[in-house]
Amino acid sequence: MDAVVVDVGTKLLKSGFAVPDQPPSMPVVVDAGSKLFKYDHALPECGPEVIPTQMKRVPVDESLKNSSSLENVIVNPVIRGFIRDWDAMEDLLSHVLYSGLGWEIGNEGQILFTEPLATPKAVREQLVQLMFEKFNISGFFASEQAVLSLYAVGRISGCTVDIGHGKMDIASVIEGAVQHISSRRFETGGLDLTNLFAQELGESNPHVNLSFSDVEKLKEQYACCSEDAAAYRRFQQGCSEEQHTLPDGQVIKIGRERYTVGEALFQPTVLGLEAHGIVEQLVCCISTVSTENHRQLLENTVLCGGTASMAGFEERFQKEAALSSSAIRPLVKAPEYMPDNLTSNSAWVGGAILAKVVFPQNQHLTKADYDENGPSIIHRKCF
């Protein structure tokens, strides 16, 4: 998926979107990931619009279009799950809210943001400040992705294993509240797995030049999890290869590399990390909460994030869980209904469900709340 193209020097960006016929009163849900930006009106059964979070800036002034300093400038507003470039985020939000969803200046609506685990207080405050001072929204709410992913499968308590592009969050939730003492964030995600896949492909195809974009597409198409560690070892000794023709005509071969990506989640030594595999990490996190909650948490485990959609991942996770030393083993909870791409979009879907509750019941942050208390009000009303 190509980067969003924006014009330097304008907050209202070019867009090819058709303006949907939705009332401005309907809340908008935004899930801003490191790789993908998901947004739309709060209709959980419809799913979100999805565009790249990464943007390419182009100059508005024709005389500057050949300037090397402005040509093809790539901007990443979100890095490892957290907003880092606030000007770029403002541009991206302008793009989707005004051009994509048809908001009118002076008649802005309500918005719910999903938040990754352990979002710094300063980031939360800057976000709510941006929403009320730059966009003049009428209402705001934020909720943690772990809670929302559970809502998406009809649960208020359980565990989430969320493998995003730039991070992995393991969280426990009891009665709609994240238990931070038993939750953990890892600075490893799909980006690191793509780099591993690129390294493996480069060793097998030394004379082929692969762009990062090519590698990501190949990973999404071919990467999978082996049945267990023994099967992975067999594949490393030899397995069938496929030939793949790249858009530029180069031909590469893909064999054992396809299994390396998935194995890194269960054996982090593949990535050069001294750490437990993903199932044992989950069990270790839950061991820090009261034993009376272990069953409720582990037997309602939700896998989410784009990487969790990898072929064979859920089956391997469940097999590793059965081998766990824990007296109560993790059990992946099947959703009560299955919208398209629920594993990848669970936080957004849960946000759309929650938005239908918090805004009609006036549980959200209003402009009056913000004007009276300032950005710190987010910690008291959105927790």
pLDDT tens column, 79-117? 999 999 999 999 999 999 999 999 999 999 999 999 999
Query: Sorting pLDDT into bands at 50, 70 and 90, what band is 4?
Result: low
Q: Looking at the DSSP assignment, which residues form a beta bridge with residue 29?
A: 40, 112
Q: Is the pLDDT of residue 78 over 50?
A: yes
Q: How far apart are CA 38 and CA 29, in angstroms?
A: 8
- pTM of the predicted protein model: 0.90
Query: Sorting pLDDT into bands at 50, 70 and 90, what band is 1?
Result: low
Backbone angles phi, psi at 264, to 5 degrees: -60, -25
Other C-beta atoms closer than 10 Å to the C-beta of 299 total 15
Q: Is the pLDDT of residue 216 over 90?
A: yes
DSSP, collapsed to helix, strand or coil, labels residue 263 as helix
Q: Is the pLDDT of residue 31 over 60?
A: yes
Residues making up the chain, counted from first to last: 383
Query: Sorting pLDDT into bands at 50, 70 and 90, what band is 24?
Result: low
- Do 38 and 50 form a contact (C-beta atoms < 8 A)? yes
**pLDDT tens readout for residues 230-241:** 999 999 888 889
Mean pLDDT (whole number) for 308-332:
92
Ranges in the chain annotated CATH 3.30.420.40: 4-148+341-381, 158-322
Q: How far apart are CA 152 and CA 155, in angstroms?
A: 7
Predicted pLDDT at 22: 46
Predicted pLDDT at 302: 96
Q: What is the mean pLDDT of the chain?
A: 89
Instruction: Kindly give, in sequence order, each residue whose CB lies less than 8 Å from that of residue 66, ignoring residues fewer than 6 positions away.
Output: none
Q: Is the pLDDT of residue 8 over 60?
A: no
Mean pLDDT (whole number) for 172-179:
96
Q: May I ask the CATH architecture of the domain 158-322?
A: 2-Layer Sandwich (3.30)
Q: How far apart are CA 330 and CA 116, in angstroms?
A: 22
Chain centre to alpha carbon of residue 155 = 20
Write the CATH number of the domain with boundaries 4-148+341-381: 3.30.420.40
